[in-house]
Structure 1
Amino acid sequence: MSGRKRSRKREFGSVRKLPSGRYQARYTGPDGMIRPAPDTFDTQKAATEWLVEKQAEILRSEWIDPDAGTITFGEYAARWVKDRDLKPRTRVEYERNLRLHIKPQLGEKALNGVTPPQVRAWRSALLAAGVGRPTVAKNYRILRAIFATALDDDLIRRSPCRIKGAGQDTADERPTATLDQVFGIAAAIQPRYRLMVLLATFAQLRFGELIALRRSSVDLDEMEVKVQRSTNEMEDGTQYDDDPKSKAGKRSVSLPSALGPDIRAHLERFVPAGRDARLFLGPQGAIPRRRNFNRVWKAALDAAGIPAEMGLHLHDLRHTGGTWSGRGGATLKEIMARLGHASPRAAMIYQHATKDRDQAIAAALDVLIEEARGKTED
């Protein structure tokens, strides 16, 4: 028996005892390469059981090349962003979130080595560092999407992102301005931006949608504003026009007829001739930038007596307008149509409100505007 070999042959793979006394398991993968187990085993039985599990993976077509997932998470994430069909601003946003919140902890780890406990620890560390829950939820969604693609690419067997509810956005409730506050801000802000405040409230437009408006976007006969584009700003300051965030963002919004005089006065005083002339321009004729406008906005809040602790942003006027539209009798779908939101639960992209009903909402807002103006004039 002195000629007995230490390596024991099996129908699938082999187990051999090493000089250290531990056991090594090896097998031939579907790609024809000899694949050793990543670790050695205390007993021959443990090594054999590992081979049985590996053979079962191959039979179930669940085998994954162990070398394929050794790329670092950071490298794979960079490739993931590059290969996706993203708008420029979204691409920059993904890259920024990866750089600031994900790669510092997970970037150097092997893609197939990231574990659920590590993901939980990463999320807990962000929250402990004071990162807001909406930001943490957004980053978790990005992380989950990257690992979902890695799963489709057969680089991992199962995603490590398994925290229930971690991707849900639980943003704090934003403040709602009163109509008196809206008109107070409109009166206090630089005159060239007065109409911007009113349209943000009563047409529920976003900042990017507002500054993308052209003279041709407003139909005074129909009292309607057409939203077709949105102006975006990159981190380097570059500005460009693009489609709104979703298909529902392209919409026509009926305006309260009480805004007619405000629109006409703005067109005459601040908008150059020509259908393509922008509705809103800065004092030097440039496209407004968020950072510069925020200074103008804060000055208007101070002048209007809006307390700083309220934390009111221009974007909050969308919520204000939506709230008052609801009080005017609009249904949830009709409010969503005005806001340009798409329902993630609906089978279709969005079901728009009828034009007649949208005009009725604008008429209801008319009554509220006249009441508020009456108070300020008394």
Structure 2
Amino acid sequence: MSNISKTPAGTYRANWREPSGRLRAKTFKTKKEAARFLADLDSTLSRGTYVDPHAGRTTFRQHAERWLASRNDEATTKARDASIMRNHVLPQWGDWQIGKIDHSAVQEWVSTLGAAKAPATVAQCHRITSAVMRAAVRNRVLAANPCDGVRLPRNRRRDTADQIITREQLRESLLPELPRRYRGIVATAGGAGLRWGEAAGLCWDAVDLDRRRISIIRTVVEVSGRTTFKPYPKSAASQRTVPIPAWLAPILAEHRAWYEPGERGLVFGNSVGKPLRRTLFRSRVWRPALVRAGLLGKLTQVADDRYRAEWPDGEGGSAEAEVGSEREAIALIVRSAAGGLRFHDLRHSYATWLVDDGVPVNMVQRVMGHEKSSTTLDLYTRRTDDHGRILEALADDDEPTG
């Protein structure tokens, strides 16, 4: 039962009992202020929405650390969110009392962050901050989440997003420029639509070259430079069987003849049989191969001992420099070029090829391992520029199309 008592100092103390039974008190200058406070508090108690008036003094950092420690997520998800929290969120909100963070402060932060960071990064920062605040609401530390209703910057697609490579570019330009050891994993990603972790964790017990099919039953995850096997793929739908194209089968057979199986029968292990690390593969194998294949920047020999390297600078322009060897020129483009085809774009390309060839979306959905067909259509089927098919569909029956 709440009540008001006068203190020896002449102020008024509002007294109440929390749902836990604990007695609490708060002092006001006037009896009217104390009565108004208790009226609001009694209302929240009766509705079951009580929030401790003193709880908001907890710093954001204290609550965020509890939130991170209590989560039951995959190791990769934990590592990603901890990185966002450490690098972007805590530098802003760490020392704030959580009860003093209001909607306007969050909106101002998001707008300022949007001027310096990509929209996707801003969205991730907001997501983490909002999750901590949402947990504070559930824990009765806050009455409402100040992140609700915050407007985020638009994630406008650029011409470098979800790039598509043609089958001819993959097989005739890119694969020949890859070192023999790594040719198979790129061919498998492009020819079977595997994610990086699925390809890096592929073992020979899941490959049937006679029946030409691959079973996706495990994956490899990389956290802080360490790789570990996970005995199941991304989702239930991700556990699937995909066909091996006729052109891919001999590449896999040749790879098996050249390289001993790695750890657990790993197909595409590194030189010591361990799973490949994505970060190292990208910088040492993938991007140099793109340069040599003419898919990233431009490499020109201008003299016997001089090479010109040209690359996109990310601002719509380009840059160039001359160096003394082809190796230096490739390394310069790899380090400096913005954008470029990603390994995951092989998966985008695979789905696009299937849809462009008229494979029903529900079948594409199954081999891609998607829970919903809308994911297949919205995220992975960026149609190629084959306008001939559109013109053919629009032509009259008696009108020639070519």
TM-score by length of 2: 0.73
Say yes or no: does 1:122 pair with 2:151.
no
Q: CA deviation at 1:188?
A: 0.7
Structure-2 change in CA distance of 1:213 and 1:122 (3 Å): same
Structure-2 change in CA distance of 1:246 and 1:139 (3 Å): farther
Match of 2:135 among 137, 149, 155: 149
- Letter of the aligned partner of 2:91 in structure 1? P
2:332 is aligned to none
Equivalent pair of 1:200/1:210 in contact (CA under 8 Å): yes
Q: CA deviation at 1:282?
A: 2.5
Say yes or no: does 1:208 pair with 2:237.
no
Q: CA deviation at 1:194?
A: 1.4
**CA–CA distance in 2 between the matches of 1:94 and 1:323?**
31
Cα offsets for 1:111-166 (capped at 9, x unmatched): 333211222122123212x2211122122222222222222222221111113564
Any unmatched runs of 5+ in structure 1? 1-10, 351-378
**CA–CA distance in 2 between the matches of 1:165 and 1:203?**
39
1:100 is aligned to 87
**CA–CA distance in 1 between the matches of 2:100 and 2:372?**
36
2:304 is aligned to none
Q: Percent identity?
A: 27
Equivalent pair of 1:210/1:230 in contact (CA under 8 Å): yes
**CA–CA distance in 1 between the matches of 2:276 and 2:65?**
32
Q: CA deviation at 1:104?
A: 0.7
**CA–CA distance in 2 between the matches of 1:84 and 1:344?**
30
Structure-2 change in CA distance of 1:153 and 1:345 (3 Å): farther
Equivalent pair of 2:207/2:214 in contact (CA under 8 Å): yes
Any unmatched runs of 5+ in structure 2? 298-311, 313-338, 377-402
Match of 1:240 among 212, 228, 234: 228
Aligned pairs for 1:250-289 (under 5 A) are: 250-272=239-261, 276-289=264-277
**CA–CA distance in 2 between the matches of 1:190 and 1:97?**
35
**CA–CA distance in 2 between the matches of 1:154 and 1:338?**
45
Say yes or no: does 1:33 pair with 2:23.
yes
2:41 is aligned to 54
The worse-fitting range, judged by mean Cα deviation, of 109-118 and 292-301 is 109-118
The worse-fitting range, judged by mean Cα deviation, of 285-294 and 184-193 is 285-294
1:7 is aligned to none
> Aligned residues, how many?
329
The structure whose residues are more often strand, as a share, is: 2
Structure-2 change in CA distance of 1:248 and 1:319 (3 Å): same
**CA–CA distance in 1 between the matches of 2:133 and 2:149?**
13
**CA–CA distance in 1 between the matches of 2:105 and 2:150?**
15
**CA–CA distance in 2 between the matches of 1:171 and 1:134?**
11
**CA–CA distance in 1 between the matches of 2:227 and 2:241?**
24
Structure-2 change in CA distance of 1:125 and 1:313 (3 Å): same
Match of 2:54 among 57, 67, 81: 67
**CA–CA distance in 2 between the matches of 1:170 and 1:215?**
41
Please, what is the CA RMSD of the aligned residues? 3.0
Residue 39 of structure 2: SS of its match in structure 1?
A: helix
Match of 2:370 among 335, 341, 348: 341
1:131 is aligned to 117
